[in-house]
């Protein structure tokens, strides 16, 4: 499907970008799930003009507004980004492919930690939050991926190309049937329902224990909760985020890649609604301008 502007993220930054881009009469697709937005769990009291409002309600209003101006919203996860000639290609967990002239990254930040004993202590010593960054260190090793959604599934798939054995540990599998079929066709061993009690090891990861007492001997544990994270998405396009996953942008919300913009929490602190919508406005406006200039 061809659009002028594709926006990854259905939070306040992505939706505000969609509103501003769509009002400039370019075609806009937003890909993301509102329930994945940080705002979905917030009760907002510090936003201009609003005494108190549930974030969920604000998101619903923002989605309606974006649609009213012509943006289309696809409640899916982005699995892969590519650059082909002068276009961006966006592939989702529903196996849909989107092509656009400009791309806006607004995937928020991943605050998602497992909070299991051993996780913090063994970070960088076998515990990783980024399969595409660290897969190469686990050639011929045994690893586990922990998570329920598309990011865990895609991490497990990727790791099958490196590790000798891959376990996917999930409390509650929550991925599209297409993606699940892909995982099932590989050597990934699915362990579900299962929850992690602790990650074991001293100098390095040695294994993992589940709450039901089962134990696994492992060399690596990849914690991949939620949708594909900002660091992974950016890396697909050769944008190198800092170690916290923050993407650098200039005042126009441009990254170093032509036609690629980023906005919201993913570009840094303060992680606040006001900053997210402000940046979304700039990113959406400039993405639309970019498309129109290219067309002239
Ligand atoms: C509990 C809580 C309370 C808060 N309270 C306040 C408050 O009172 N006031 C305030 O100003 N701020 C508050 N915040 C912060 C505020 O919610 C964030 O700053 C704001 O939501 C950031 O907007 P964003 O669009 O950048 O990211 P998010 O709102 O996090 O949205 C990110 C979007 O990207 C999507 N996404 C991520 N990866 C992918 C992928 N691979 N494919 C497709 N989509 C993807 C997500 O599903 C989501 O739709 C709070 C946050 C939390 C968590």
> What DSSP string describes 70-133?
T-EEE---EEEEEEETTEEEEEETTS-EEEEEEEEE-----------TTTTTTBTTTEES-HHH
Q: Tens of pLDDT along 139-159?
A: 999 999 999 988 899 899 999
Q: Tens of pLDDT along 66-108?
A: 999 999 999 999 999 999 999 999 999 898 999 999 999 999 9
For residues 155 and 102, give the distance between their C-alpha atoms in angstroms, rounded to a whole number.
26
For 11, residues 6+ apart whose C-beta sits below 8 A from its C-beta are: 32, 34, 36, 37, 38, 39, 59, 106, 108, 264, 265, 276
Q: State whether the beta carbon of 245 lies less than 6 angstroms from ligand 1.
A: no
Domains 2-111+229-295 and 127-223 share a fold: yes
Q: Tens of pLDDT along 206-252?
A: 999 999 999 999 999 999 887 767 777 888 899 988 877 789 999 99
Backbone angles phi and psi of 166, in degrees to 5: -130, 120
Residue 162 gets which letter from DSSP?
Answer: T
Please give the angle made by the CA atoms of 28, 254 and 154, to the nearest 5 degrees.
65
Distance 54 CA to ligand 1 centre (A): 13
For residues 254 and 263, give the distance between their C-alpha atoms in angstroms, rounded to a whole number.
9
Q: Is 105 exposed, middle or buried (0-12, 13-18, 19+ CB in 10 A)?
A: buried
Name the token pair of 106: 């607004």
Q: Which residue has the tokens 């134990």?
A: 215
For 34, residues 6+ apart whose C-beta sits below 8 A from its C-beta are: 10, 11, 40, 56, 59, 60, 63, 75
User: What pLDDT shows up at residue 229?
Assistant: 73
pLDDT for 2 beyond 90? yes
Does domain 2-111+229-295 fall under CATH 1.10.3470.10? My reply is: no
Q: Can you state the angle between helices 55-68 and 12-22, rounded to 10 degrees?
A: 20
- CATH of region 127-223, choose from 3.40.630.10, 3.40.1280.10, 3.40.50.1450, 3.50.50.60: 3.50.50.60
For residues 43 and 50, give the distance between their C-alpha atoms in angstroms, rounded to a whole number.
11
Q: Which residue has the tokens 């061809």?
A: 2
Name the token pair of 197: 């009690």
pLDDT cut 90: percent of the chain above it? 77
For residues 190 and 168, give the distance between their C-alpha atoms in angstroms, rounded to a whole number.
5
Q: State whether the beta carbon of 107 lies less than 6 angstroms from ligand 1.
A: yes
Domain boundaries, the chain: 2-111+229-295, 127-223
For residues 247 and 86, give the distance between their C-alpha atoms in angstroms, rounded to a whole number.
21
Q: State whether the beta carbon of 134 lies less than 6 angstroms from ligand 1.
A: no
Pocket perturbation via mutation, ligand 1, pick of 6, 11, 175 by most ligand atoms within 8 A of CB: 11
- Among 1-10, 177-186, 231-240, the minimum mean pLDDT is found in 231-240
| CA-nearest residue, atom 26 of ligand 1 | 264
The atom number, within ligand 1, closest to the CA of 275 reads: 19
| CA-nearest residue, atom 27 of ligand 1 | 108
Closest CA to 94 of 173, 180, 7, 10: 180
pLDDT for 111 beyond 70? no
Q: State whether the beta carbon of 37 lies less than 6 angstroms from ligand 1.
A: yes
Q: Tell me what the mean pLDDT of segment 28-35 comes to.
A: 96
pLDDT cut 70: percent of the chain above it? 98
Q: Tell me what the mean pLDDT of segment 248-270 comes to.
A: 96
Q: Tell me what the mean pLDDT of segment 271-275 comes to.
A: 94
Closest CA to 12 of 4, 20, 23: 20
Rounded to two decimals, what is the model's pTM? 0.81
State the average pLDDT for the chain: 93
For 274, residues 6+ apart whose C-beta sits below 8 A from its C-beta are: 46, 47, 48
The atom number, within ligand 1, closest to the CA of 109 reads: 30
Whole-angstrom distance between the N-terminal and C-terminal Cα of the chain?
22
Q: State whether the beta carbon of 114 lies less than 6 angstroms from ligand 1.
A: no
């Amino acid at each position: 499907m061809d659009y002028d502007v594709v926006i990854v993220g259905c939070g306040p930054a992505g939706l505000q970008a969609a509103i501003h881009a769509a009002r400039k009469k370019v075609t806009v697709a937003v890909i993301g799930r509102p329930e994945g937005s940080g705002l979905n769990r917030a009760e907002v009291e510090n936003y201009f003009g609003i005494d108190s409002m549930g974030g969920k309600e604000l998101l619903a209003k923002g989605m309606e507004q974006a649609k009213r101006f012509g943006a289309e919203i696809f409640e899916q996860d982005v699995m892969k980004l590519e650059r082909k000639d002068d276009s961006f290609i966006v592939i989702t967990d529903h196996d849909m492919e989107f092509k656009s002239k400009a791309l806006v990254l607004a995937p928020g930040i991943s605050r998602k930690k497992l909070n299991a004993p051993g996780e913090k202590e063994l970070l960088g010593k076998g515990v990783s939050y980024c399969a595409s960054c660290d897969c190469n260190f686990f050639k011929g090793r045994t690893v586990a991926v922990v998570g329920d959604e598309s990011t865990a599934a895609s991490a497990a798939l990727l790791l099958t190309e490196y590790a000798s054995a891959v376990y996917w540990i999930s409390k509650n599998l929550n991925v599209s049937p297409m993606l699940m079929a892909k995982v099932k066709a590989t050597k990934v061993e699915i362990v579900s329902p299962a929850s992690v009690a602790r990650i074991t090891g001293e100098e390095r990861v040695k294994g993992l224990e589940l709450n039901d007492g089962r134990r696994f001997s492992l060399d690596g544990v990849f914690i991949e909760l939620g949708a594909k994270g900002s660091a992974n998405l950016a890396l697909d396009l050769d944008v190198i985020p800092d170690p916290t996953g923050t993407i650098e942008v200039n005042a126009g919300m441009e990254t170093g890649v032509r036609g690629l913009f980023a906005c919201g929490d993913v570009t840094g602190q303060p992680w606040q609604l006001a900053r997210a919508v402000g940046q979304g406005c700039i990113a959406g406006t400039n993405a639309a301008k970019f498309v129109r200039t290219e067309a002239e």
